[in-house]
Every structure is written in structure tokens, then in C-alpha cells.
Structure 1
Amino acid sequence: MSAPVTVTTSSAPDGPKAHSDGGWALVPVQVRSARFSSFEVGDFDAVTGQELEWKRTPIAKVLPLTGGDLDGSELPITLPSVEGATIEWIDRSDARIGSAGKPEERASANAWSGFEKALAVTIGGETPVTIAIDRSGLGTAPRGAHTVITAKHHSRGTVVLDGSGDALLSENVEIVLEEGAELTVVSVQEWNRGGIHLASHFAEVGRDARLKHVVVSLGGEVVRLNPSVHLSAEGGEVELYGVYFADAGQHLEQQVFVNHDAPNTRSRVSYKGALQGIGAHTVWVGDVLIRPTASGTDSYEQNRNLLLTDGARADSVPNLEIETGDIAGAGHASASGRFDDEQLFYLQARGIAEEDARRLVVRGFLAEIIQKIGSPELETRLHDKIEAELTGNEENRP
């Protein structure tokens, strides 16, 4: 646990900061709560890769999305018709936009500044509904997009954002849960090999509401999806899950932020990934902030990575910032390593070939997260995709 921290910042993201010893120096922001935020891309300096939030990202590959012109028109997708929900395109002036969060980095602000219409998904009934948004055929031109998902009072629903094909996409997704709502949001990234996808998800969780958020990243050259959750009312709960499989040359990144800001809130964060091949790189940063107003908080976060070959790299950074001693519990864990030889020996001793044993271990390792989705059809599809990754790349193993 970290001790309470107080940081005074200027208005610039990386400008002078008042140091605790009274002097002024160029001190980078060290705590998640002190990040600069703005809806305007011009308020952020150009991205260089030296910034705290960008230093692990392959900047050259994502630069077109961090400040260049984006096509902000409606995405070329077919909107489903689901009883108990409204799915529509809305104008930038709609009051729902900007209700869940504010960009904290330049790519997010660029998408926010550039979109023309936002996709609004509203769930209004207590009868559970499932909504699948198929986002394919986006092309290779730089795009900016915005989505607002609202779960009204005591509503129940699941929203799946399913990405495949070509993409050069920067987007913001706002998620609002009103009192007593229960919502699952699943974001699936199965982009083509050259796909680039940057996303910021902002969630506002109301009183006694429960959010389950699942990130599945399997395809694309660079995928960076950062969920941020504000537990702003008493009794709010969030479960944040992630599963990813990075192949040779892939960069899969997720920076998670949970902001406990009200009494008796609960969060659970669990991300698991597997990596294989030269240049496979994953990044997980987990920030949990427990504010002085969040007495009774119960929080835990963990990240586990399984490195299948030499040449793969997993960066895992859990952070916990506690500003009150009156909590139910808080903790974090992180581990990255290779196969457990005892597991392999156990399976081989029972007549299972080594390659089959390896696949069984990886499938079992990732299945814990996949089964959290709650959709048998989608879960089967993802298991099949992981199996294809494993059987198609055994030659990369030393």
C-alpha cells in the first residue's frame, strides 16, 4: 500500500510542478489522479514517446491517430434492432456526450475533437437484452469514433463491440450506469494483421450499479485499449477483465484506472495474457485510487502473463494509491513467467504429447477470463481463435 500522496500541478500536462520541498522543477506526474485532461486536442503537446502514458507504446505506428486529421463520419456499420434498447446516431451536441469522462491523452482528445456523429446505445428495461455491434470493413484511412452506452435505472444488458478486418481507428467509448443497473460491456479486437486501434473507455457507475467490462485483444498490429472507471456513488461495483494473445511483432496494451470516490464500493481487476514469437509485446498498467471519501472500499487487481517463447516481452505495472485508512481491503498482484514444468510433466506422465500438453495449459490459463463473458457462442469462438494461434505458430518455439 502506498501512503497518501498530494501533488500540485500546473495546467500543462508535463509542465512545472510544485515540489514538496518548495522548489520548482520539471517533475513528471507520478500519481494517476494528477493526470491532465481536456476535450481539446490542441491542449496536449505532440506525442514524442517520452510521456509517462506513451513510453511503452510504438509511437511511430500510432502517430497518424494522435494528432492528424481523422474521418469522423458515421462508421460504415449496420445498426441492429433490439427490443428493449435504442441504437442510434446522435449529434455532438447531445447531452449524453461527455457525461462519463474526459480525455487524458492526445489520441483520445483527437478522436473527441474530430467525430461528427456518436453511436448511442440505450438500454431501458429490466428484461436482459444483448446487443452486438459488428465493426468490420472500416478500411485503412485514419478514423475517429465515439460511442455512448447508457444503462437506465435498474436495467439489465450486454453490449458487445466486435472489431475485425482492417482498421486505423482512434475512439472513445462512454459507459453510464444509472442507479441499480447491471451492464456487461465486451470489446473484442480481432483486427487484421496491420490493424491499429487506440481506444479510451470511460465508465460512470451509479448507486448500487454493477458493471462488468471485458477486453479481448487477439488481432491487430497495435491495440491499446484503456478503461477508466469512476465509482461515484455508494454501493457501486465493477469487474474489469482482460484476455490477450500477442504473436510475433504484435503490441497489445491496456492501462486500467479504477477511481473509488464513494463509500462501500467494490472493484475486481483481472487481466491474463499469453505471448509467443519474436517482438511479441504486451503492456498492462493497473492504477487503483481510493479517495478519502471512499470508506469501506474493497479492491483487488491482478495481472498474469505466460511467455511461451524467447523474444517475447510482458510489461506489468500495478499501482495502488490509498488516501483513507477506513477500507475493507485493497491489494494487487502481478506475475510473468514461462510454463510450469510440473504441469507439463503431470500431463505428459498421463500420455499426453508435449505439444498437446502445452496447448492445454495455455487454454486453461486463459479460459478463466473468457468464461466471464457469459456468452457461450462468443466464448466458443474465442477458444477456437486461441487454438488456431497455438497450432499455427509452434515453429516459433525454441
Structure 2
Amino acid sequence: MTTLQTEQHGAESAENAQHGLKAHSDGDWANRVPVQTRSDRPKSANIADFPEVTGREVNWKYTPVATIKSLISGDLTDGTSALEISEAPGVEVSSVPMDSELVGRGGLPEDQAAANAWGQIATAQRIFLTSEERQTIVVKRTSLSETPTAAHTIIEAAPQSDTVVILENTGSANLTETVEIVVGAGANLKVVSIQEWDENAIHVASHNAVVARDGNLQHIVVSLGGKVVRVNPSIHLDGPGANGEAYGAYFADAGQHLEHQVYIDHNAPNTRSRVAYKGALQGEGAHAVWIGDVLIRRVAAGTDSYEENRNLTLTEGTRADSIPNLEIETGDIAGAGHASTTGRFDEEHIFYLQSRGISEDEARKLVVRGFLFEVIQRIGNEQIEERLQTAIEAELSQSVLA
């Protein structure tokens, strides 16, 4: 760990220490107090600073820990270089050592899988964006195998830049990674992470973002393929006027586990956030997990925040866990709220479509398409949106929705 990272970890530990907590002579009581809130979780690039994962922890209790055990604590190969990055004006790509001051600005790991990856690779891939005219770059990852692998990517948007970065994940994988996102003052950055892995792939990712004054980050996750996919965005609004938006769409099939834990940290006045994740589930054992945490700190006067998660269960045998949380430390806010729903089709919608001559089966499929496309259309790339729509059509063609 670099000096900068050690200092950050020490400062955060001191700031988040529970008031009145100290060790007693009757044992290590202080270290056994459970974490009460999202902001209290330990942060470190050293896996030794985390206790062993049992599956009972609040951030692991819904995850199939046994399936991803090798990524949490096992040996990993370095897969950072397995990226294909398209060229565009104002895009600089370089490899930086993990002890560089450029590493860690998006935030330190908050769980063992991220810390394990951080400690077993030598370099990070840095994508530096400087164009003030909107550019779109595509980052593809297709060459991974089932060998447990680690990776670290830094996406940095210079002040006043305007870029769309699309991360495409396909093929086989057994991957744990950190994606750092650094948004400069007044910059506009859209990061789209698409998971279309093979059916046996495992992908555990921490996306750690920091947004400066008047910066704007739009983060979009689309998870369709993979056996276990866990993508956790953590967005810290650290400058006045910063805006963070997190959107997600997912479609879980039989035996598939798709998980997203979203954290929005309002750490400056007049910041704004919006979180909206939508998922569909079908087939025996299909499991979706969404946990949304929003922290509005004492310094974040004027905050405007809202988060929601909607799940559409298409068949019997599915499970959707949806947990929205708000932590508010000041009453001087513009607004804050959350919503969560999980259920079957709205029969009034189905009846309306049938009254227009559409069969019941096709009506149900139309509802699902529209439900997920509300998120997918935010990508803003017609070719990719059409491809994802085709993938959803393929999912629906295999289902029995009646």
C-alpha cells in the first residue's frame, strides 16, 4: 500500500470510529462490534485488514460465497492487460504501477475480493480522457479463461472533458476487479458496463468513483450473462454541485445470480443523485440482489437524492432481494427518498394490449421489453442498444410467461 493509501485508510478509520469504543481487558471486544451503517465499513488495500468471509456479513449474506471463494482469498493471475481499447482523440492509455499516486483516488477496497485483487497485481490500466468534444470509446474484454484472475482499471476524466466509456465483457471469466472512476471539475462522463458473459462465468467487480465540483457521472450497468455476477458501484460526490446517476438493467435466468450493491455518498453541498435499477427474473433458482445505500453527510446541505429498484418476476421459483437504505445526517436537504417493488405483470397493461388485438403471450413480452428498455436506452449508442434488445428477445423466447 502506498503512503497516500495508508494515510487515507487511517484518516477514514479515525473518522468512522464508533464513539466511546475502546478495548476492554476481557478480550478483543472492540473488533467484534458489528458494522452498523454502510459508511462504517472498513477500507483497505491490504486483505489482511479484513476478517475471513463467512457469508453472514451484511455485504456477503446474499452472495454464493462458496462459488467465488477463490476470488475472495485465493491466488490470482494478472489480467489487467487483457483489454482492447478503441482509439479516439483525447484518449491516452498507459500502464501505471500499483504503488503510484494515480492509484487509489477513486477509493480503497471495501471488501476482501477487491483487496485480494488489489494486492496481487503489479500494474493498473489507466484511461485518461481529455477531449471537450464528446467522444465514445469501447473497452472490450474477451480473452479471459476460467483461471482466477485480477484486474485494475482507472478511468479518469479531465476537467471539462466529455466522454462515453463502454466496457464490454464477453466470453469466459473467473474475475475479480476494481474499476476506479475519477471525474474532474465540470467534466461529463458516462460509464457503461455490460456483462454478456458465457453461462459459467464468474465476475466480481467494485466500481469506485469520485466526482469533483460540478462534475457529472452517469453510471450504467447491464447484466445479462454469467453464472455469478456481482457489480458494486460506489459513487462519492465530493465537490459542490456534483451529480451522480446510477442505472441498471438485468435479466436473471434459472440458476443465475446477479447482484448489484449501489452506494451514493453525498459529501458536499448542493449535490444530486438518482439511482434506478430494473430487473426481470425467470426460471428455477434465478436470483437477483439489489442493495441501495445513500449517505447524506452533515456537510451536504441542499442534497437532492432518490433511489429505486423494480423487479419483474416472470415465473415461479425466482427470488429477488431488494433493500433500499437512506442515512441522513442533516435536515437541510432538497429531497431524499427511495422505492422498491417486486411483483408479477400488471394485468391492466396486459388487458389493454389484448384489447388492441395482441396475443397474451406477445403482450407479456412487450411489457418486459419496455420495462428494461427504459434503462438500456440511456446508453445512447444505437448499435449496442439494438444488440442488447436482441439478447433480451432471446431470453424471452425461451420463457413461458403465461
TM-score (norm 1): 0.93
- Equivalences for 1:31-180 in 2 at 5 Å? 31-180=37-186
Measured in 1, the distance between the counterparts of 2:79 and 2:166 equals 21
1:134-170 per-position Cα deviation (integer Å, ceiling 9, x unaligned): 1012011000000000000100001111000000000
Q: What RMSD, in angstroms, separates the aligned Cα atoms of the two structures?
A: 1.7
- Residues 240 and 352 (structure 1 numbering): CA distance in 2 closer, same or farther, change over 3 Å? same
Q: Map Cα deviations across residues 73-103 of structure 1 (whole Å, 9 max, x no partner).
A: 5433333222211122222233211111011
Query: How many residues in Structure 1 have an aligned counterpart in Structure 2?
Result: 382
Letter in 2 for 1:222: V
Structure 2 residue aligned with 1:21: none
**How far 1:7 moved relative to its partner?**
4.0
Change (3 A) 1:10 1:91: farther
Distance 1:374 1:315 in 2: 29
Task: Please tell me whether the aligned partners of residues 79 and 144 of structure 2 are also in contact (alpha carbons under 8 angstroms).
Answer: no
Which residue number in structure 1 is paired with residue 373 of structure 2?
A: 367
> Partner of 1:22 in structure 2?
none
Deviating runs (4+, > 6 A) in structure 1? Answer: none
1:144-202, Cα deviation, whole Å (9 max, x unpaired): 00000000010000111100000000000000011100000000000000000000000
Aligned partner (choices 177, 183, 208) of residue 202 of structure 1: 208
Question: 1:10–1:274: structure 2 CA closer, same or farther, 3 Å change rule?
Answer: farther
Question: 1:234-313, aligned counterparts within 5 Å?
Answer: 234-313=240-319
What displacement does 1:17 show? Answer: 5.0
Deviates further, 337-346 or 160-169: 337-346
Q: Which amino acid aligns with 2:37?
A: V
Is the 1:75–1:138 contact (alpha carbons within 8 Å) kept by the matching residues of 2? Answer: no
Structure 1 CA distance for aligned equivalents of residues 22 and 319 of structure 2: 35
- Contact (CA 8 Å) 1:266, 1:299: kept in 2 or not? yes
**Residue type matched to 1:144 in 2?**
A
Matches of 1:75 and 1:48, distance apart in 2: 32
**Structure 2 unmatched runs, 5+:** 1-15
Question: Is residue 89–residue 131 contact of structure 2 (8 Å, CA) maintained in 1?
Answer: no
Query: One-letter code of the match for 1:53?
Result: N
Distance 2:174 2:53 in 1: 17
Return the structure number with greater helix share: 2
Instruction: Determine the C-alpha separation between the residues in 1 that align with 2:228 and 2:347.
Output: 31
SS in structure 2 of the partner of residue 63 of structure 1: helix
Aligned residues of 1:281 and 1:314 also touching (Cα < 8 A):
yes
Distance 1:267 1:143 in 2: 33
Residue type of the alignment partner of 1:350: R
Residue 10 of structure 1: how far off its partner (Å) = 7.2
Q: Report the identity percentage.
A: 53
Q: For residue 330 of structure 2, what is the aligned residue in structure 1?
A: 324
Q: Distance in 2 between matches of 1:16 and 1:285?
A: 29
What SS does structure 2 have at the residue aligned with 1:282? strand
Determine the C-alpha separation between the residues in 1 that align with 2:82 and 2:178: 17
For residues 265-311 of structure 1, give each alpha carbon's deviation from its aligned partner in whole angstroms, at most 9, with x where no partner exists.
00000000000000000000000000000000000000000000000
Q: Is the 1:123–1:157 Cα contact (8 Å) retained in structure 2?
A: yes
Tell me how far 1:351 sits from its aligned partner: 1.3
Displacement of 1:346? 1.2
Amino acid aligned to 1:102: L
Residues 148 and 173, structure 1, Cα contact 8 Å, conserved in 2: yes
Is 1:213 the counterpart of 2:219? The answer is yes
Contact 1:81 1:87 in 2 (8 A): no
1:155, 1:181 within 8 Å by CA — same for their partners in 2?
yes
Q: Secondary structure at the match of 1:364?
A: helix
What are the ranges of 5 or more consecutive residues in structure 1 without an aligned counterpart? 19-25
SS of equivalent to 2:312 = strand
Instruction: Report the Cα offset of residue 235 of structure 1.
Output: 0.4
**Could you give the per-residue CA deviations for residues 365-398 of structure 1, whole angstroms, max 9, x where no partner exists?**
111101111111111111111011000233xx57
Q: Contact 1:73 / 1:117 at 8 angstroms: preserved in 2?
A: no
The one-letter amino acid paired with 1:319 is N
